Chains A and B, each alone.
Chain A
Amino acid sequence: MSNVDVVVTGLGATTPLGGDVASTWDAMLAGRSGVSHITAGWAEQATVKIAAQLKVEPSEVLERVRLRRLDRSEAIALIAAKQAWADAGLEDAEIDRERLAVSFGSGIGGALTLLNQDDILEESGPRKVSPHTVPMLMPNGPAAWIGIDLKAQAGVHAMASACATGAEALALGMDIIRSGRADVVLAGGTEAVIHPLPFAGFANMRAMSTRNDDPEKASRPWDKGRDGFVFGEGSGAVVLERAEHAKARGARVYARLAGSGITSDGFDIVQPDPECKGGARAMTKAIRDAGLTGADIVHVNAHATSTPVGDMGEIVGIKTAVGTHPLLTSTKSMSGHLLGAAGALESIAVILAIRDSVVPPTINLDDPDDRLDLDVAAHKARSLDIPAAMNNSFGFGGHNVALVFTRA
């Protein structure tokens, strides 16, 4: 436990469900799917022809010349970060920029730029490669651009822990505030690599759903018919703030980020530990860090990506670390899997669940796996008083991150 309270004062997102947090949350509560057919020509030859694509294109938000210098993952990170900043009431606030940090990562980084510029290199030669290529593809690009935009001077950090990235970014943000290095941290994750190459790679791993004829039904965590995750793009951003700093400026507080737990499996580069031992240790650490016990956690937004192995392993871990009582959901059933942004978006879903006393649904859970013996908010959102809740995020490489949020 830390004696420094960290609170959430701003939220931002652009996702397959909406161009901002309000529309994304409305879509989640309504149980809408953000998954659709890929209309680009390459999909015709691809094994997987569906994805959770952004509802609002960055070109509708940012200027054309600005977008020329940004990888798509950087553009949407900036969009989400600016929303969170404004939502926190910080646009016109006089805050000490030397006490403002950024903690923002991506699972794959600027791969779209790398691939697109490689096409230019092959077709037109090296002189035609954009001079903006390096800052567009570097994995710290999203964090760096946010830092420039907000004039953050307490450090800009970019993590890369695959699908645990967004959650790990929030955990580091909390640590930075607890350590006394900053008062405010803009934290989150971003991902935008809908392109035939990563699609071929993931498809050849047999990791993605091939339910091409019925996209909205493809992401179905814990359902017997699940056959892999649905690739998504998007970004989620959160303003974390030292509670006393937030109070002093009269900020609206959504929730406390009360605890985090980070572990690694030390097991396999892509397979999760089948008993979720590392995941369970992360959950236990997060609960202890928050000064709580498993009994206090009434809701878990699970990592559950809709893969045959991972979904059920996590259930074992939740029972070990939390118990059999929490009400679960997987919002990936609607948003798809946003990879490096998933942990940030799902943290936002937990924060709003606490605020609104409602658990968003897990859609498509028509025929639950026989081993699913915990309560899930299947099909419809469910009202629940939530003093404390948890978000789980796990990633290729054996990264496990659990975050505990409590009512402020």
Chain B
Amino acid sequence: MASREEITSGLAEILEEVAGVNPDDVAEGKSFTDDLDVDSLSMVEVVVAAEEKFGVKIPDNEVQNLKTVGDAVSYIEANH
């Protein structure tokens, strides 16, 4: 079972690979679009990579609720 810190750090790796986000900028309070400048197509890539990394399914209708890194961490923590 991964901790919230481990999930955040895993997401930071994905965000760097997919969208060039500086890992130091990734924190639970940050919004994917407003703070980290992740566009909609890149967000799709982030979701698919996160599913593989954490062994979860993130349905499309759930993605719209994942506004911040913290939202994604909570979803992954609850579902993996």
Contacts and interface: CB of A to CB of B under 8 A. Distances in A.
Interface of A: 63-65, 68-69, 127-128, 130-132
A32 B27 CA distance: 54
Given A131-B44, A131-B45, 13 more contacts: A63-B20, A64-B20, A65-B18, A65-B19, A68-B18, A69-B41, A127-B48, A128-B48, A130-B45, A131-B41, A131-B42, A132-B41, A132-B45
Contacts, number: 16
Interface string B39-71: 001101100100000000000000000000000
Nearest to A134: B41
Would you list the 4 A-B pairs with minimal beta carbon distance, nearest first? A65-B20, A131-B44, A131-B41, A132-B41
5 contacts: A65-B18, A65-B19, A68-B18, A131-B42, A132-B41
A69 B41 CA distance: 10
B66 to A, nearest CB: 16
Contacts of B20: 63-65
Nearest to B49: A128
Contacts of A63: 20
A163 to B, nearest CB: 33
A132 B45 CA distance: 9
A134 B41 CA distance: 11
A16 B51 CA distance: 41
A68 B45 CA distance: 11
Nearest to A128: B48
Contacts of B48: 127-128
Contacts of A128: 48
A265 to B, nearest CB: 41
Nearest to B40: A131
B16 to A, nearest CB: 9
A127 B45 CA distance: 10
Nearest to A135: B41
Contacts of B41: 69, 131-132
Contacts of A131: 41-42, 44-45
Contacts of B42: 131
Contacts of B45: 130-132
Interface string B6-21: 0000000000001110
A132 B42 CA distance: 8
Nearest to A132: B41
A133 to B, nearest CB: 10
A128 B45 CA distance: 8
Contacts of B44: 131
Contacts of B19: 65
A138 to B, nearest CB: 14
Find the residue from A63, A64, A65 having the highest chain B CB count within 10 A: A65
A63 B19 CA distance: 11
B26 to A, nearest CB: 15
Nearest to B43: A131
Contacts of A130: 45
B2 to A, nearest CB: 22
A132 B19 CA distance: 12
A128 B48 CA distance: 7
A68 B19 CA distance: 9
Contacts of A132: 41, 45
A69 B44 CA distance: 13
A131 B41 CA distance: 6
A12 B75 CA distance: 49
A306 B19 CA distance: 44
A186 B46 CA distance: 35
Contacts of A127: 48
A64 to B, nearest CB: 7
A127 B18 CA distance: 16
Nearest to B44: A131
B14 to A, nearest CB: 12
Nearest to A68: B18
A292 to B, nearest CB: 50
Contacts of A65: 18-20
A69 B45 CA distance: 11
B75 to A, nearest CB: 17
A113 B42 CA distance: 17
A63 B48 CA distance: 23
